[in-house]
């Protein structure tokens, strides 16, 4: 049995808390919001996971020092926009060699840093890792079969996470490619916004397949330019996560995109979804990275125009379809 704390009490954090509890570990959940802690203690329910009964033995606290003390593993499960400030709060209580695994997905707009890079900067004494893949909290909380990837610089760190999280319903692979895992996890949310926008416009399966296929091409080209590995983008945290996020109504990014495609503004869509839409926060960073590495990313470019420049979704779709003629892959040529 391991002592584990989840830093963040959203749906993904709670789903993982229950998974780890069911694996036989002692789990504590921390939140910065006192009202959330009180409600979770009293009701053992989370509004976004209405079918889930939270076991009585999972502890809830607003005391960050107590949550981090003597823990074998810390799981950071706060939205990407709060990762830096949360890590800064964790710094005084973090021990040398303490393992911190990030399960959020995103890129910091101001610095273009991945979330693991932020954690490494704020918590230099810790061992930083990631856990990512096609894994909606709604399904993990119900015990539906799910697969993820644990990424870390050290193999033993990734294997520790693998051992703690593995269950008959939750299979974990290991990988050294932290950069590729994080780029895939962050930018798939932007492509999922595009997929949702297409759904809102009334497009069909052909359009969805095109966006997924060309989307992973954009992500992989940028990710490899940044040091990620081709195999990662072919795997669970690349094409796998992209497929589920573009296709599922559990996806807040797809749901927000549908509303935008139907005529809502970005702000209106985010308000209706009532959850953090990570793709909105990663879209500008993705475009800036594309420009920095000189990688054409037309889907992400058009999503930015719709989100932040007032371009209509219909016009953005037409501009994608009517771009200059080109080959499908620049790596293939006639003899």
Residue ranges and CATH numbers for the domains of the chain are: 3-176 (3.40.50.720), 179-321 (1.10.1040.10)
Catalytic hit among 188, 229, 284, 305: 188
CA triplet 197, 202, 208: central angle to 5 degrees?
Answer: 60
pLDDT in tens, 147-194: 999 999 999 999 999 999 999 999 999 999 999 999 999 999 999 999
CA distance 281 to 108: 8
CA distance 245 to 190: 10
Please check the confidence at residue 333 and state whether its pLDDT lies above 90.
no
pLDDT band at 278 (very low <50, low <70, confident <90, very high): confident
CA 308 to chain centre: 22
pLDDT in tens, 77-135: 999 999 999 999 999 999 999 999 999 999 999 999 999 999 999 999 999 999 999 99
Report helix, strand and coil shares of the chain as percent, to nearest 5.
55, 15, 35
Q: Is 188 part of the annotated catalytic residue set?
A: yes
Inter-residue contact 279 to 219 (CB < 8 Å): no
CA triplet 98, 99, 104: central angle to 5 degrees?
Answer: 135
pLDDT in tens, 97-112: 999 999 999 999 999 9
């Amino acid at each position: 049995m391991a002592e584990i704390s989840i830093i963040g009490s959203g749906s993904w954090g709670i789903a993982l808390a229950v998974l780890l509890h069911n694996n036989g570990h002692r789990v504590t959940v921390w939140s910065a919001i006192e009202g959330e802690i009180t409600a979770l203690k009293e009701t053992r329910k989370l509004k976004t996971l209405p079918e889930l009964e939270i076991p009585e033995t999972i502890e809830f606290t607003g005391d960050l020092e107590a949550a981090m003390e003597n823990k074998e593993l810390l799981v950071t499960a706060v939205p990407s926009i709060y990762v830096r400030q949360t890590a800064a709060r964790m710094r005084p209580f973090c021990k040398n060699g303490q393992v911190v695994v990030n399960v959020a997905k995103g890129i910091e707009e101001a610095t273009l840093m991945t979330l693991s890079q932020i954690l490494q900067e704020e918590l230099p004494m810790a061992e930083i890792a990631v856990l990512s893949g096609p894994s909606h909290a709604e399904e993990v909380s119900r015990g539906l079969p799910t697969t993820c990837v644990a990424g870390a610089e050290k193999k033993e760190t990734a294997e520790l996470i693998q051992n703690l999280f593995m269950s008959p319903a939750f299979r974990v692979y290991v990988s050294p490619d932290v950069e590729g895992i994080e780029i895939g996890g962050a930018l798939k949310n932007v492509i999922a916004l595009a997929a949702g926008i297409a759904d809102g416009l009334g497009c069909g399966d052909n359009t969805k397949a095109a966006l997924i296929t060309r989307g992973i091409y954009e992500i992989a080209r940028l990710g490899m330019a940044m040091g990620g590995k081709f195999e990662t983008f072919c795997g669970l945290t690349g094409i796998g996560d992209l497929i589920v996020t573009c296709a599922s109504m559990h996806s807040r990014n797809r749901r927000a995109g549908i509303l935008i495609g139907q005529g809502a503004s970005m702000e209106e869509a985010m308000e209706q979804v009532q959850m953090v839409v990570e793709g909105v926060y990663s879209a500008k960073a993705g475009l800036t990275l594309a420009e920095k590495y000189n990688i054409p990313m037309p889907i992400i470019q058009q999503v930015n125009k719709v989100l932040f420049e007032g371009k209509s979704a219909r016009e953005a779709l037409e501009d994608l379809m009517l771009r200059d003629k080109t080959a499908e892959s620049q790596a293939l040529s006639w003899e």
